[in-house]
Amino acid sequence: MASGFFAILDDITALMDDVAVTTKLAARKTAGILGDDLAVNAEKATGFLASRELPVLWAITKGSFINKLIIVPVALVLNAIFPVAITVILLLGGLYLAYEGVEKIIEYLFHRGKTGHEVVEDVRQDGAAAEAGKIKSAITTDFILSIEIVIIALGSVTEENLTTQILTVTAVAFLATVGVYGIVALIVRMDDTGYRLIRYSGNKGFLTTIGSLLVKSLPVIIRILAVVGTLALILVSGGIFVHNIEYLHHVLPAVPSTVKEIVFGLVAGLLAVAVLKGAKKALSLFR
């Protein structure tokens, strides 16, 4: 009886060792998309009042966990019975990311008419609605990026048994959410940490210097993340198209893959924006 119990423990230990190895491999393969995920979600989780930053971030994090709870089992089932569906879902998700990225660029270039005072007034008048809209947008974007993360992780363990696949993909999905939003939380609270260091040190000495650096660095980091997050949306979408459409994969072989992915992401986003705006105009004519 005891020998049987220890044999089970040996099997569990061996399985955990296998899962640890495959999780490390899958995490390495998803490192690029995790970096994009961080940039996109850090940009989306900023721009709120200080008192609302952590509640908003927690709402997005919960949404991310729910996304993973939906995506992981669906991806495993589809991979087993209908793998083509995964490719279709990826392409649709890529189109959404391209649309969102290009829309941000268009908004920045052509629709920056409001002054700072007017923006503050808008936030005061409709703060709750704006917050809810930004949370919804962040969770939607997280859903698309989570699909990409889960699919890449699943693709790295297709040769393993089903149990190892399930545990590995689940571990990567969990670590992705905890890691990304943990770092985002640190970023958005940089200024508060800086102010506390300044107060604690009596506004003098080394701690004050560090605190001032944190406070001054946050706006710069946010602006950088806004740019990087937008580029990440376009780059990830282009990567989805290049890696899942055979024809695009072989187009312009001499061009660096990053350049190709940005170009295809931009083209797809422009087409998506044009189609959506055209559809809205057509619908308005029938009202």
Question: How confident is the prediction for the chain on average, in pLDDT?
Answer: 77
DSSP collapsed to 3 states, the chain: CHHHHHHHHHHHHHHHHHHHHHHHHHHHHCHHHHHHHHHHHHHHCCCCCHHHHHHHHHHHHHHHHHHHHHHHHHHHHHHHHCCHHHHHHHHHHHHHHHHHHHHHHHHHHHCCCCCHHHHHHHHHHHHHHHHHHHHHHHHHHHHHHHHHHHHHHHHCCCCCCHHHHHHHHHHHHHHHHHHHHHHHHHHHCHHHHHHHHHHHCCCCCHHHHHHHHHHHHHHHHHHHHHHHHHHHHHHHHHHHHHHHCHHHHHCCCCCCHHHHHHHHHHHHHHHHHHHHHHHHHHHHHCC
Residue 270 confidence class, pLDDT cut points 50, 70, 90: very high
> CA quadruple 74, 241, 145, 102: dihedral positive or negative?
negative
The answer, yes or no, to whether residue 125 has pLDDT greater than 50, is no
Instruction: Name the more confident of 249 and 193.
Output: 193
> Which tens digits make up the pLDDT trace of 132-154?
888 888 888 888 888 878 887 87
User: Residue 30: what pLDDT?
Assistant: 59
Q: Is there a contact between 108 and 281 (Cβ–Cβ < 8 Å)?
A: no
User: Residue 271: what pLDDT?
Assistant: 92
Q: What residue has token string 């793998």?
A: 83
User: Residue 32: what pLDDT?
Assistant: 56
How far, CA to CA in Å, does 195 sit from each of 109, 184, 200, 214, 221? 34, 18, 9, 8, 17
Instruction: Name the more confident of 190 and 5.
Output: 190
Average pLDDT, integer, range 26-51: 64
Instruction: Name the more confident of 97 and 18.
Output: 97
Average pLDDT, integer, range 152-163: 75
138 token code pair? 């962040």
The answer, yes or no, to whether residue 287 has pLDDT greater than 70, is no
Average pLDDT, integer, range 202-231: 81
The answer, yes or no, to whether residue 167 has pLDDT greater than 60, is yes
User: Residue 10: what pLDDT?
Assistant: 52
Residue type, 248: L
Cβ neighbours of residue 185 closer than 8 Å, sequence gap 6 or more: 54, 57
Average pLDDT, integer, range 217-238: 80
User: Residue 75: what pLDDT?
Assistant: 87
Q: Is there a contact between 201 and 208 (Cβ–Cβ < 8 Å)?
A: yes
Best mean pLDDT range from 58-72, 177-191, 231-245: 58-72
Residue type, 136: K
For the ranges 27-31, 194-198, 269-273, the lowest mean pLDDT is seen at 27-31
Domain edges within the chain: 2-285
User: Residue 48: what pLDDT?
Assistant: 63
pTM confidence score: 0.69
The answer, yes or no, to whether residue 266 has pLDDT greater than 90, is yes
Best mean pLDDT range from 1-10, 19-28, 112-121: 19-28
Q: What percentage of residues in the chain have a pLDDT greater than 90?
A: 6
User: Residue 13: what pLDDT?
Assistant: 62
